[in-house]
Structure 1
């Protein structure tokens, strides 16, 4: 069975508007379900590909800060 998860995820969101995309992200994060992680990864990949170098640096800095906060006190 040849399953291309990335293509399936893109197909599922291909007609979504900004509001629907935001709802998808918020829902995935609030639910915290492991099965949503691949979808978030595909969405992040799309964002990364569209970002210029300054935006990428901002994302990496935000990610570093978030990782530090999430792991503080662990």
Structure 2
């Protein structure tokens, strides 16, 4: 069986508007279930591919801050 997870996720959200996309992200994060991580990864990949270098740097800066914060919370 050939399962293309990326394609399945993109197909599943292709007709979503901005509010629905945001709800998908918020719901996945709030649920905190491991099974949601691949979907969030695909969404991040799509965001990354559509971002210019300045936005990518902002995301990396935010990620660095988030990682530092999360590591002190454990």
Deviation at 1:53, TM superposition (A): 0.3
Q: Which residue number corresponds to residue 10 of structure 2? A: 10
**Alignment gaps of 5+ in structure 2:** none
TM-score with structure 2 setting the length: 0.97
Query: RMSD of aligned C-alpha atoms?
Result: 0.7
User: 1:36 and 2:43 equivalent?
Assistant: no
Which 4+ stretches in 1 moved above 2 angstroms?
none
Deviation at 1:73, TM superposition (A): 4.8
Determine the C-alpha separation between the residues in 2 that align with 1:72 and 1:44.
24
**Alignment gaps of 5+ in structure 1:** none
Q: Which residue number corresponds to residue 66 of structure 2? A: 66
TM-score with structure 1 setting the length: 0.97
